Structure 1
Amino acid sequence: MRRDETRSPWRTLGSRNVYENPWISVREDSVIRPDGEPGIYGVVHYKNTAVGVLPVEQDHVYLV
């Protein structure tokens, strides 16, 4: 491990893809949570992401 990395209190035991289409995929990880209990952690990955900014000032919305 590099000096600048920190250890996560979560431990991943395994992963499986549970859903996929052209826009998103959903993964389910089997984990050990920080409290030591087993759990499931869901991850949604967006394949084509975009970011929109809508500044609002009084009664005006500016599309950027």
Structure 2
Amino acid sequence: MTSRAENGLLPLTAAQRGVFFAQRLDPANPAYNTMVAMEVRGPLDGGLLQRAIRRAEGES
């Protein structure tokens, strides 16, 4: 069993490291892109959504 680091994060598996390095070698390759569609019901705070997307982009 893998133990968590002091920061609470788990190390990447060998497969995850492979995907990470493949993407770093060829960032334009769409092989590991995923599509997601969501349906939003009710009011949407566009500014908050935009900030969340930008934050997620910055973490990738």
TM over 0.5: no
Category of TM-score, reference length = shorter chain: under 0.3
More strand by share: 1
Q: Which of these two proteins has the greater Rg computed from alpha carbons?
A: 1
Q: Which has the higher contact order (CA 8 A, sep 6+)?
A: 1
Q: Which has the higher helix share?
A: 2
Using structure 2 for the length normalisation, give the TM-score. Answer: 0.21
TM-score (norm 1): 0.20
